[in-house]
Amino acid sequence: MKSNVLKFFLSLELLLLTCPSIAAPLSKEPIRPLMMLKVDTQKAALGKLLFEDKRLSKDNTVACLNCHSYHTGGVDNLPVSTGVRGQQGAINAPTVFNAANNFVQFWDGRARNLEDQVGHVISNPKEFDSSFSLIIQKLSKDSAMVSEFKKLYPEGLSEPSIRSALAEFERGLITPSRFDRYLQGEANAINDQEKNGYQLFKSYGCIACHQGQNVGGNMFQVFGAMNNYFADRKTPKTDADNGRYNVTHKESDRHLFKVPSLRNVALTAPYFHDASAATLEQAINTMFKYQLGRTAPQQDKEDIAAFLKSLTGQHVLMNAQRP
């Protein structure tokens, strides 16, 4: 375990040292270059161990990595994920990549931050169905794990330190892309079609909800702002379709969702909270009809898709071993 911790520590240190320019945006565009967040690399390395540890689930069958693969944009590419005892979740799993830049966590925003998000996953009966007391009981038998916690946290292995380590690891999952280099002044980092797609993305109005560092993730929006998406959808409504309403119980929040980040969107199909779009092209069509209330030539949509693909990035864990 020590060698794994050291390897991650060195890898993350290298990323932070070799990407200083990411912290100095050169553009006044509505999309801003990703900034590397300040991360305690030793705590992040410990968090990586926890992220991959199935002991966090009640029956030792599911780890965070099962639903948030390093190799597929931080998701599992399934309509819904599988938790303990083979149970199916109720909503499409959002990406863990760049999640630290979201203003809230989960589609309905029920978690204020990454530390808060950890507890929701652990206690959810269809996800980990566990508790911090049970996890601590299990990990206390692992002398190497206990030793790592004692080195990094005054209180050692505890609920706050587990939350902290996992959140610190996720803060390191930042994925700079070619488009970020373009924003920083590298004109040839993206091609002409991608540049045109970006201009169309702005002119059609997509940028109204998808902007900032995460190209989204910083506001709530009604799904079906211009046309009634849920009336047109052929599948029955579910509780998950209520979105933010499930948290606030305000009628004005029904069908309100956190706008997802579009970073790595080319890797994270299927799309939307209900996984109703199997491809990026289908997702773009849905957005034009229900969020923009507009039509567009096919070539414009293809150019926008090309731009979105330029948002695919990498991080130090891309070569991590698959679960």
259: containing domain: 178-309
Q: Are residues 258 and 206 in the same domain?
A: yes
Assigned domain for 261 exists: yes
Q: Are residues 37 and 147 in the same domain?
A: yes
Last residue of a domain, one of 147, 171, 195: 171
Alpha-carbon 17 to chain mean position? 24
Residue 111: strand pairing partners: 105
pLDDT for the residue 36: 87
Q: What's the structural domain count of the chain?
A: 2
Q: Are residues 145 and 185 in the same domain?
A: no
CATH number at residue 106: 1.10.760.10
Last residue of a domain, one of 171, 198, 228: 171
Q: What is the pTM of this model?
A: 0.89
Q: Are residues 186 and 144 in the same domain?
A: no
Assigned domain for 228 exists: yes
Assigned domain for 16 exists: yes
pLDDT for the residue 223: 98
Q: Are residues 108 and 211 in the same domain?
A: no
Q: Are residues 127 and 229 in the same domain?
A: no
pLDDT for the residue 315: 77
Assigned domain for 323 exists: no
Assigned domain for 317 exists: no
Instruction: Compute the CA torsion angle 316, 284, 250, 130 (nearest 10 deg).
Output: -40
Q: Are residues 100 and 194 in the same domain?
A: no
166 vs 106: CA distance, rounded Å = 16
DSSP calls for 33-75: ---PPP--HHHHHHHHHHHT-GGGSTTS---HHHHS-TTTTTS
Q: Are residues 115 and 190 in the same domain?
A: no
Last residue of a domain, one of 142, 171, 200: 171
Q: Are residues 164 and 182 in the same domain?
A: no
pLDDT for the residue 11: 53
17-38 pLDDT, tens digit per residue, is: 444 434 344 458 999 999 888 9
pLDDT for the residue 7: 53
Assigned domain for 121 exists: yes
Q: Which residues of the chain have pLDDT under 70?
A: 1-27, 316-323
Q: Please state, for a pLDDT cut of 70, what percent of the chain lies above it.
A: 89
Kindly name the residue from 127, 148, 168, 194 that is annotated as catalytic. 127
59 vs 17: CA distance, rounded Å = 40
Assigned domain for 22 exists: yes
Q: Are residues 105 and 28 in the same domain?
A: yes
Assigned domain for 148 exists: yes
Is residue 155 flagged as an active site residue?
Answer: no
